[in-house]
Structure 1
Amino acid sequence: MSAESPVQSAGFRGIQTGPVLRRVNAWLPVIATVAILLLMLLAGQLYFGDFVTPRLVSSLFDNNPYLIVLAVGMTFVILTGGIDLSVGSVIAFSGLLGAQLFAAGLPAVVVLPLMVLSGTLIGAVIGIMVAVFDIQPFIASLAGMFLARGLAYVTSLKSLPIKNDGLNWLLGTSWGGGQWYTTPGVVLALLLVALAFWVLHYTRFGRTVYAIGGNEQSARLMGLPVGRTKFLIYVISGTGAGIAGVLFASYTQSGNPLAGLGMELQAIAAVVIGGTILSGGSGYVLGSLAGVLVYGLIQIAITYMSVDSWWTYIVIGVLLLVFVVFQRALSARRRG
């Protein structure tokens, strides 16, 4: 078996064309996602007449900072061909942990890092199972999901209100003027997107992530630190889930044992819609951001149409099928 070149491992493999065409081809799924987003905005404007407004764009980000952060961490995991089913449960556990600690009188400067650390530790447990004991990511993260959800129920069986200015400041404070606005939580989420983009595309760690997803055996033969990298990506995902737990607690101003139910599937859907291939090796964190915006825009459009919210899942399901078929066709083109 021949080892792939670094360019091939970084999501551009299988195309015998020039570097510019290779790069354009690699960005095609992201371009398709952005095109769908723009078409949805155009269709909404034509149908409703007053759809695309500064307030809509601002609320599109304001309603989804925790999902953006989850999608960032999930992108790292899926790029290696793995999956993390624990992130939604981590949101519940970290939120309840924060609620209990705030009720005990601890300040935000102590509680918020501990909320994030709870996600980091669960991610580390999953990473050890995957990297050290070679357990399938689905099984390892499923165990992490049950662990985090169980810890949430042990912490509290009911919703606990959170009244803390430090936590509520993240999404309760608006910056901007007129109809344009943003919040500190949204800024934090976008900064994490930018940091993830830099790590994935301008560091050795990022190149190793792509190489593992492209061909793990070749990555080992090239002497890349496969085990350490796989451990770290689950730590990153768990940390992201902890941060998302902080943002979600700020959004709801409470901790709830049922928080985050199904949110891991929403994050996976956003990443796939954003063009990251589930088998790994190809994808971009900017595409995941676009996938979250598509998901959020569908929810807003469903609300505008005054139909049942379950239609959101139907539309997302159709989009997922379309993107999976598109990815398969693109993969076949690359192999050809």
Structure 2
Amino acid sequence: MCPLACPHPCLVPGELLASPAEGRGANEPVPPVVVNPDGESIEALPVGAFNANTVVAADVAVFLRDVVVSPGGRIILDVPGLTVPAGEFLAVVGPNGAGKSTLLGLVNGFVRPGFMRSGSGAAVVLGQDMCASGAWRVRRRVALVAQMTAVDPRLPISVLETVMTGGYGRLGLLRRPGAALRAQALANMERTGIAHLAQRPFGQCSGGERQRAAIARALTQQPDILLLDEPTSALDWHAQREIMALVTSIHRERAAGAGPPLTTILITHDLNALAPPPGPPGSSGSSDSRNQPGQLGMPGQSGASAVNRVACMAGGRIVWAGPLEQALDAVRLTQLYGTPISVIDHQGRPVVLF
């Protein structure tokens, strides 16, 4: 994989894609079913309506049913059911090894899905059957901001060039990046507050600057789903707040825009980032003088969380899912992480202590 974690379809080996019949019982017909955002099945449609398997409502971004991931026969992910409506902001939390990153890989098409019971499973992302031969196409519409890794400071690529790579998947193999892609990348760098770093070598940026560049690259991909795998890891508290405020603002802007909403799935170990601290009306939560007022937040909403739902994972399974207010519960979190955790109220905001 590219050291910059670029989401290009051409970087994913074809053998990671499963055939349509694999794990489904090739000789056994599979009746199609329509799935609502609440996960309930409704009247079946004629065979062939969706790959002769599953029809998912247009307002569902991700639908998983009876999906497992078991490399070498060892189950690392087991999802009996998960439905993510389009436009939802879903946070996924849990201890190390819980299967969180594997779940993102499944949505992004980098991880091969399997099914628990022959004929009963389905994995559909943005209307695409992830076991069909064309599943790789969904990666053009799903952007991943991966965990931060070390980058060689001698890497001969600028921040602008790095951000432009987000648009390569839509260009295809025979088209070269031009002025339009460059302008789009610069606009996204301005949006994320790093336009002044355009010509700086990517490897010479700080951790927070590299995360902003990764988010700008993801935006350049023009995604319908944004996946964030611990975007604030290894950052100082100020940078963590800035990155979370930026992600929140981007999600809200797409929700308020004329186009399709952005579905955001966030993995984090920083539970306190899910309920950001309050700020004065019109503030962005950031003191970075390079950013325009309101750039990282919306007036009057800088202290509000964009998270619609939290999914708790342990042992490769989603053990609980519900609203943020119920997720930040001391008993629930103590059981999830296997260590004593307290939740206190600080100025009307829950704060997790351990």
Smaller-chain TM-score range?
Answer: under 0.3
Q: Which has the higher contact order (CA 8 A, sep 6+)?
A: 1
TM-score (norm 1): 0.24
The structure richer in strand per residue is 2
TM-score (norm 2): 0.23
